[in-house]
A and B are shown apart, each in its own frame.
Chain A
């Protein structure tokens, strides 16, 4: 059953009690929040996902709740919790929804060590997946939103999940986190996409989340073979410059974006080197998203 088959009132009531579970493929989350704005955005962005039965187990039980310190009277704050554990300091009330998304990412990165986890977007076209590992500010999420709304299958905006046995990528489809100017750009390019309300003055600047395409959500259990690793750098004065990286450079770039390679030890090293060996790696400097898309589908990778 998809979340959108529930009435909003039912969702609100269930979320209030922590009884709403969402299936994200490689993990499932039970989410609790009494905050109406969090409930509303969650309902909008996760409407296409399957819900987990009330009595079925989930991997993570998380909540976003208002802090009950004295500050709540003059400067309200919210906290994220996993079970009874609160891993982060409270944030301003206006950042409640982004904190839920970031907290869910943290749950995966800190606990889901059945997989090699890499900080990077991953999208698929023509049965070939491309990983875009990159630090904040590289334009990764904007590129991701552009491709995901241009016929590419979104596997993840934030976290590439690699199977340790097969080397295949598992989807971890989530709303795409846009920052600052890219929010208006994406709204302009794709007027029909659902974008959450914005949160200002976060640690990442102004942020908003974009609903992932339903087709990608419905393919949550379809793995993908990785074709290439693309290191994006948004650069105002370059339409598209491409540089090929050798295997060792590729390893160093990818390894620096891995969440748990060290934790996995030899398993992580083997998964990482296999990934490098099976793929090509390029570094791109760009300001034109369509040129990037054309390069990926019609350039060297198409041969």
Chain B
């Protein structure tokens, strides 16, 4: 199971053009499409979730892209695996 790192700061653009995630540990900003960003925001309140839950919320992109996004979020330190 995974959770969203409590230290990241998420900016959801008001014009729905995308979502920016600031990752303090890396000192960098990750740009996400609005769709992925909104899912991330929706999952933020959940204590933990897995890839299936993340995947089920993304309906309009190919499953291999969902996996790519999932791995990107993990590698960028946005999603953290529960111990």
The interface of chain A, by Cβ under 8 A from chain B, is: 246-249, 251-252, 255, 262, 265-266, 269-270, 273, 276-277
Give 1 or 0 for each of B29-62: 1 = CB within 8 Å of chain A CB.
1010000000000000000000000000000000
* Contacting pair A248 B22 (CB below 8 A): no
Give 1 or 0 for each of B3-41: 1 = CB within 8 Å of chain A CB.
000000101011101101010100111010000000000
The interface of chain B, by Cβ under 8 A from chain A, is: 9, 11, 13-15, 17-18, 20, 22, 24, 27-29, 31
* Contacting pair B27 A247 (CB below 8 A): no
Across-interface contacts of A246 in B (CB, < 8 A): 13, 15, 17-18
Cα distance A270–B11 when bound, in Å?
Answer: 8
Q: A255-B29, A269-B9, A269-B29 are in contact. Are A248 and B24 (CB under 8 A)?
A: no
* Contacting pair A273 B24 (CB below 8 A): no
Interface centre among B9, B18, B29 (most CB of A within 10 A): B29
- Expressed in whole angstroms, the minimum distance between the Cβ of A231 and any Cβ of chain B is 16
* Contacting pair A248 B27 (CB below 8 A): no
- Expressed in whole angstroms, the minimum distance between the Cβ of B34 and any Cβ of chain A is 9
A-B contact pairs, 16 of them (CB 8 A): A246-B18, A247-B13, A247-B14, A247-B15, A247-B17, A247-B18, A248-B13, A249-B17, A251-B29, A252-B31, A262-B27, A262-B28, A269-B29, A273-B11, A276-B13, A277-B13
